[in-house]
């Protein structure tokens, strides 16, 4: 998680070098505008560790949430590739889920859906926990996730969600 903070700091440092230095008020306005939007799109980049080793994961999705004081419940739909997309080794997951933000910087979520693996269709359930920090109008959410599959396999995921 420290590496993600370093990346955010590096982005801000580079923008500052080019004269883009938002004030504290502008940063607060970016954060408020993020929370005022109900609809968000996201990209996830990560890795899954399971019986077969380590595989890269790529996901895109949509999240909509209702919040009260920057806390609340969210619903999402996600499409994920486990392994390099569009190769024979890739598995695909399409999930529907719900997330809970007990505090603004913490997300706990569950998702469920079909997993397409080796020509077969299994079910997959996922539980994840992520943090959240603001970079202008976008949030970066490093996560850890446990996946349980209908073929009696399990996976442990880690990565980051970039959400606008």
Q: pLDDT tens digits, residue range 31-89?
A: 777 777 888 999 999 999 988 899 999 999 999 987 766 778 999 999 999 999 988 88
Distances (CA, A) of 121 to 90, 91, 149, 153, 163: 13, 10, 10, 13, 29
| Per-residue confidence band for 138, with pLDDT thresholds at 50, 70 and 90 | confident
Distances (CA, A) of 17 to 10, 14, 23, 63: 10, 5, 15, 33
160 within 8 A of 143, measured Cβ to Cβ: yes
Predicted TM-score (pTM) of the model is 0.81
């Amino acid at each position: 998680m420290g590496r993600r903070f370093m990346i955010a700091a590096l982005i801000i440092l580079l923008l500052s070098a080019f004269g883009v230095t938002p004030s504290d008020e502008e940063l607060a306005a970016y954060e408020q505008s993020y929370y005022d939007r109900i609809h968000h799109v996201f990209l996830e980049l990560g890795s899954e560790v399971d019986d077969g080793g380590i595989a890269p994961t790529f996901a895109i999705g949509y999240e909509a949430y209702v919040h009260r004081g920057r806390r609340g419940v969210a619903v999402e739909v996600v499409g994920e590739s486990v392994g390099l997309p569009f190769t024979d080794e890739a598995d695909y997951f399409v999930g529907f889920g719900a997330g809970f933000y007990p505090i603004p910087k913490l997300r706990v979520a569950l998702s469920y859906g079909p997993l397409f693996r080796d020509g077969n269709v299994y079910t997959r359930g996922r539980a994840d926990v992520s943090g959240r920090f603001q970079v202008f109008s976008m949030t970066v959410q490093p996560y850890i996730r446990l996946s349980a599959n209908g073929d009696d396999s399990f996976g442990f995921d880690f990565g980051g969600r970039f959400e606008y």
